[in-house]
Amino acid sequence: MASVPAVLTSEWTKIRTVSSTTWTLICAFAVTVALSAALCALTNSQFDDLPDAERATFDPTLVSFSGMILGQLAMVVFGVLVVGTEYSSGMIRTSLAAVPRRATFLFSKIAVAGVLALAVGLATSFASFFLGQALLGDHRTDLGADNVLRAVFGGGVYMGLIAVFSMGVAAILRSSMLSLGILMPFFFLVSQILSAVPGAKNVARYFPDQAGSKIMQVVPEAMNSEPAPYGPWGGLGILLAWVVAAVAGGYLVLKKRDA
């Protein structure tokens, strides 16, 4: 029977020796920081042209996370690959033969990948913030301002949780292609479109990305956005509930179905 430390070591070896997962995390960092920096520079140059309502509720911290919409997609890919690759390659049978306790296998995988995603998410969040504030010029803020540290730290946690949520979905669907085919359009298209549709946006605000991203907001109703029925921590709690549900569902499927 494999011990937990041995399983954790095995999962770490799987992740670091697969180039696709490594490059996905690098892309998550690079794309988020680069796009955020570009949009911060553009915002600074065109600040006087913004509508009065947006200038009145300008949130420099939130603007520095403008690239997060693409960065989170890279985190989705990472989470799906961590779990789904074993199914597509057939290695899941070997893994479960070596670690017959399925809870130990799945939760060790999620723990190792989740900690790595969190570390990359925090590095991405802080890098985006510092570079973005430097490019915002006179409109910048700093970590010492009220709730800014919470927002920056929360940005990293948000990216990590999105990755873990994707791992849970991949464990439920047992397919990388199917998981990506559902999650990518959901985060990039469906969630964004429904959040702008009257009536539907009341439901969309409880989607994992819409709710969780509130943790990165410092100014209430930032950039003239509509108020939400929950605050930053409430939004993160909603995202966490989605994560717990996805992981629990993944475990139940793994427990009840053959590899």
**Residues 134-180: tens digit of each pLDDT:** 999 888 999 999 999 999 999 999 999 999 999 999 999 999 999 99
Residue 166's φ and ψ, nearest 5 degrees, are: -65, -35
Whether the per-residue pLDDT at 258 is higher than 80: the answer is no
- pLDDT reported for residue 2: 64
85 pLDDT above the threshold of 80? yes
Residue 144 to residue 154: CA distance in whole angstroms: 15
For 132, residues 6+ apart whose C-beta sits below 8 A from its C-beta are 36, 37, 40, 60, 63, 64, 65, 66
> According to DSSP H, which parts of 60-147 are helical?
60-63, 68-89, 91-98, 102-135
213 to each of 114, 218, 232, how far by Cα in Å? 18, 11, 8
b/e map 69-89, b = 16+ CB within 10 Å: bbbbbbbbbbbbbbbbbbbee
Q: How many CB atoms lie within 10 A of CB 55?
A: 14
Q: Name the region of 199 (left: φ>0; alpha: ψ -120 to 50; beta: rest).
A: left
Quick: pLDDT tens for 12-66: 888 888 888 889 999 999 999 999 999 999 999 998 888 888 888 899 999 999 9
Find the distance separating the first CA and the last CA of the chain, reported in whole Å: 18
How many alpha carbons fall within 13 Å on the CB side of residue 2? 20
Q: Which value, to the nearest 10 degrees, does the dihedral of the CA atoms of residues 108, 109, 111, 112 take?
A: 110
Q: Give the integer Cα–Cα distance in Å for 132 and 90.
A: 43
Looking at residue 1, what is its pLDDT?
Answer: 53
- Count of residues in the chain: 259
Measured from the Cβ of residue 252, the count of other Cβ atoms closer than 10 Å reads 12
pTM of the shown model:
0.93
What is the rounded distance in angstroms from the CA atom of residue 3 to the CA atom of residue 210?
39
Give the tens place of pLDDT for each residue, 188-238: 888 888 888 887 888 889 999 999 999 999 998 887 787 888 999 999 999
The pLDDT tens digits of the residues spanning 98-107 come to 888 888 889 9
The pLDDT assigned to 177 comes to: 92
Report pLDDT for 238.
97
pLDDT on residue 189 = 86
pLDDT single digits (tens) 109-140? 999 999 999 999 999 999 999 999 999 988 89
Residue 197: predicted pLDDT: 82
Q: Who contacts 227 (Cβ-Cβ below 8 Å, separation ≥6)?
A: 220, 221
